[in-house]
Amino acid sequence: MAVNRVPAWTELDMNGVGARAKVVAFDLDNTLARSKRPMSEEMAQRISALTCLIPVAIITGGRFELVDIQVLSMLDADACRGNMHLMPTSGTRYYRWNGSEWHREYAYDLSTDERQAVIAAFERHARELGLWAEHTWGERIEDRGSQITFSALGQEAPIEEKEAWDPDNAKKNALAAAVGAEFPELAVHSGGATSVDVSRRGVDKAYAIDRLSTMLDVPVDSIVYIGDRMDPDGNDYPAAVAGTIAIRVTGPHDTLKVCDELIARLS
């Protein structure tokens, strides 16, 4: 399914969106929160409220530990955790609340050989493209088991540095193209502000949406998906192509407005 352009929430009939919605799914970085930062108290209130009205999914390129820090630790005490579906590392893993803890339901890990080869390719191509920074903050290439993530400035880089590094996504897209040409059997795409992700082909945000649809027995076109990387090279785009009610935001300030619109119609 081709998607020419994903609309912003201001371009949509939100009454119609609310009437169709059976699930609301979110990207994390620059959608619910700034990169690697906990979501705001205001966002936590909105997400907590939504969990008591409708199933809520978080589908992110980040690992589960970041979802825990950025989202779960910020939820209100009355949030309905049993109504949440957590799909980190671009949907290659899935977690549910079992009443006492978050339990991993599945994981699609890359083989040891695949992970080692991708890590080596990231360094080689990043150096060739002039993207191997002299100074980084934290880990530059992270082995997440089901996903290898290259973070050009390091995982712990200041948010201001990250946001200024590649505002038009050209650097990430060039690196993703170079690595992708070497591993046609894997899925390679630009992720967050400074990152490129590699995972098993066919297991991406579109796959996560399809699994969510099957597990909850709802049509894909009744799942609202909200994300900031809705351009064809972005890691949110597959969720739009899957056939969701896709909504493009430019940051958490937009997402707060979308949440308010949805809460008003679902309450």
Unique residue bearing structure tokens 């191997």: 132
Q: How far apart are CA 9 and CA 261, in angstroms?
A: 9
Query: How does DSSP classify residue 134?
Result: S
Query: How does DSSP classify residue 9?
Result: G
Asked whether residue 13 is marked as a ligand-binding residue, the answer is: no
Catalytic residue among 13, 27, 109, 113: 27
Beta bridge partners of 197: 149, 189
Asked whether residue 76 is marked as a ligand-binding residue, the answer is: no
Please indicate whether residue 217 is annotated as part of the active site: no
Q: Of the candidates 173, 171, 139, which has an alpha carbon nearest to the alpha carbon of residue 156?
A: 139
Contact (Cβ atoms closer than 8 angstroms) between residue 183 and residue 121 = yes
Catalytic residue among 29, 166, 204, 254: 29
Please calculate the CA angle 218-220-223 and round it to the nearest 5 degrees.
80
Asked whether residue 29 is marked as a ligand-binding residue, the answer is: yes
Asked whether residue 146 is marked as a ligand-binding residue, the answer is: no
Report helix angle 170-182 to 112-128, nearest 10.
130
Asked whether residue 10 is marked as a ligand-binding residue, the answer is: no
Asked whether residue 195 is marked as a ligand-binding residue, the answer is: yes
Asked whether residue 248 is marked as a ligand-binding residue, the answer is: no
Total length of the chain: 267
Please indicate whether residue 113 is annotated as part of the active site: no
Query: Annotated binding residues for Mg(2+), as ranges?
Result: 27, 29, 228, 244
Q: Which residues are annotated as a binding site?
A: 27, 29, 144, 195, 197, 228, 244
- Which positions are catalytic? 27, 29
Residue list, annotated binding site for alpha-D-mannose 1-phosphate? 144, 195, 197
